[in-house]
Structure 1
Amino acid sequence: MTATLPATAAAGNRGSSRGPRGLTWVVLRVHHMALIFWGLAVTAAVAALIWMHAIGDEARRGMSACAEPPTDGLPSCTSVEAITVDDTYQAVLQLIGASLSYAIFFVAAWAGGALIGRELENGTARLAWTQSVSPARWLAAKLALPAALITAGTGAVALVNLWARRDDNPNLVGDWYYSDVFITTGPTAVAYPLAGVALGALAGLLLRRALPAAGAGFAVALVLYNVLERCREHLWPAVTLADADGVELPRSAWQLDSGATVHPQSHFWPLQLVETGILLAVAATATLVAFWLLRRRTP
């Protein structure tokens, strides 16, 4: 004896399984551990940066001028040297900056291995394609949700990072042209991980196996990172200072050679926007190639 569902209920079930909510829910369930880890990491980073903002004034006092014995309103050097808040402030900002800067590597490895490669290797993807979910929609759901979460998470950390840095005292937070500082204080903080998702997904589709795809995603992200780091100074025309012999350049100037070719601090945003554009172009190209490759390999 068989039971038959009413037509409306059956249609509703089919619609819910094929709709965006159904695909999104599947992605969340399959990758819930990665989602939990990402949420905890973002929460910890934001909490640490809020703490850095709270101790920022004390950290700056630790970097202030001093005299021994104290004179002319300057504090005692002995008391200033006893202040270690500035060391904590520097260390935490550097740790969070490095973690955000290097996020592209781990995102690319995860996207290649766990997000795409593993599901192609164990047949989960092909099973989904037989249940009224087209390969293109499957890949779109696989990419859209991680991209949205990564954009929200890295964007939040980058904004709170800027807030915690306050006046950008280079003695405390590093010069603007240091690689970790540069990447994590502008839109590149979001663009790098997004490029990692796209490159990792493409590696997963090409290799169709989890471990090789994870390694390939990590490797190609590493190449992209290093190429842009080496080429960053050429992304915007530098300024050559005439008759600068014997003139001490301001610390805010990024000196490119032993002569007088520099990037002034006003070049931060042009360099940021050009590098962000390159990263987004890489992400878009890798995504388009991934969809083209998937269409070629599936009926």
Structure 2
Amino acid sequence: MSVLSGTAAAPAARGVLRPHRAALILWLTALAAATAYLIRLHALADEARAGVSACAVPAHDGLPLCSTVRAITADDTYRDGIALVSGSLSVLMFPVALWAGAVIGRELENRTALLAWTQGVTPTRWLAAKLTVPAALLTAGTGSVVVLNIWAGTDGDPNLVGDWYYQDTFIATGPVAVAYALAGLALGALAGLLTGRTLAGAGVAFAACLVLYNLLDFFRANLWPTVTRVGVSEWPRSYFQVGWSPDETRLTYHPRSHFRPLQYVESGLLLTVAAAATTAAFLLLRRRTA
């Protein structure tokens, strides 16, 4: 979507932000809190790793005493903190979709959109502003938190941050997190236009995101060719198991090196959904206002 230009963009952008200052403040506050929290978690990383390190009884060969390792509590704090941030990023599309569906639906239900259209802002520019400004904020904010989350996760030890293929970890450590948020925004806007009601728009948006979220979770293993090993004698580290032969001699899985390809394919699918929903929203609006 192109950036709005000239004087016509200014009132449209102000029209987006003015009635939603509370949501904007909440978003900026959440970003600030997440930033501070992740910086704190990064500072705990070394101590947390010590809490899950190998140990011995008695201590020997450079291994610490097991009772000393068990006395360390930073690993629990670190693990819970990373899980909180990752879980929040994983489900971000849902509040985004609820907000977009409710906002668009309410403006149509209360006829405030019609008022804007009579004050020099065309329906197309009105919807473009409704999508462009939040999309920019979501992209910048979500992308920043993802980068910080990866940084706070340091070496990605699955004992502390979860295996790379876990739903929350997978979404929260790559570009797919931004794609989920943008898909939620587009689906929410389309739902609001379809229903023209606040609650209905939010409900339909949530349902659409729930279907999309679960479909991608279910089919993620099929988004990239798997690897098969025969006569497995040593398990690969942090692997995404897809299949296992009955006689336990053949393992089909995704190695950790498949993280990026899976991320890119899933992101592409989500952005395609977002583009399709956005296009449908503009076509629907044009049809209704023609």
TM-score range, shorter chain: over 0.9
Q: Secondary structure at the match of 1:74?
A: coil
Name the structure 2 match of 1:151.
Answer: 139
Q: Secondary structure at the match of 1:257?
A: strand
Greater Cα shift, 274-283 or 234-243: 234-243
Give the distance between the partners of 1:265 and 1:239, measured in 2 at CA: 11
Q: 1:224 is matched by which residue type in structure 2? A: L
Q: Secondary structure at the match of 1:241?
A: strand
Name the structure 1 match of 2:234.
Answer: 248
Q: 1:216 is matched by which residue type in structure 2? A: V
2:279 aligned with 1:295, yes or no? no
Give the distance between the partners of 2:68 and 2:283, measured in 1 at CA: 65
Q: Secondary structure at the match of 1:248?
A: coil
2:256 aligned with 1:268, yes or no? no
Where do 5+ consecutive residues of structure 2 fail to align? 246-250
Equivalent residue in structure 2 for 1:65, among 54, 64, 70:
54
Name the structure 2 match of 1:230.
Answer: 218
- Per-residue displacement from partner, 1:18-73 (whole Å, max 9, x unpaired)? 52122111211111110011111111111111111111000001111122332232
Alignment of 1:42-191 (within 5 A): 42-114=31-103, 116-191=104-179
Aligned residues: 281
Q: Secondary structure at the match of 2:155?
A: coil
Give the distance between the partners of 1:22 and 1:137, measured in 2 at CA: 10
Q: 2:189 is matched by which residue type in structure 1? A: A
Normalised to the residue count of structure 2, the TM-score between the two structures is: 0.94
2:189 aligned with 1:201, yes or no? yes
Name the structure 2 match of 1:258.
Answer: 244
2:200 aligned with 1:212, yes or no? yes
Q: 2:273 is matched by which residue type in structure 1? A: V
Q: Secondary structure at the match of 1:138?
A: helix
Runs of 4 or more, structure 1, over 3 Å off, are none
- Per-residue displacement from partner, 1:247-268 (whole Å, max 9, x unpaired)? 2321222111223111111111
C-alpha displacement of 1:240: 1.5
2:48 aligned with 1:36, yes or no? no
Q: 2:79 is matched by which residue type in structure 1? A: Q
Greater Cα shift, 158-167 or 74-83: 74-83
Normalised to the residue count of structure 1, the TM-score between the two structures is: 0.91
- Per-residue displacement from partner, 1:233-258 (whole Å, max 9, x unpaired)? 000111121333xx232122211122
Greater Cα shift, 83-92 or 63-72: 63-72
Q: Secondary structure at the match of 1:213?
A: helix
Where do 5+ consecutive residues of structure 1 fail to align? 1-14
Q: 2:238 is matched by which residue type in structure 1? A: S
Greater Cα shift, 20-29 or 226-235: 20-29
Once the two structures are aligned, what percentage of the paired residues are identical? 59
Aligned CA-pair RMSD: 1.3
C-alpha displacement of 1:135: 0.2
Give the distance between the partners of 2:92 and 2:266, measured in 1 at CA: 16
Q: 1:67 is matched by which residue type in structure 2? A: A
Give the distance between the partners of 2:262 and 2:59, measured in 1 at CA: 44
Q: Is the radius of gyration larger for structure 1 or structure 2?
A: 1
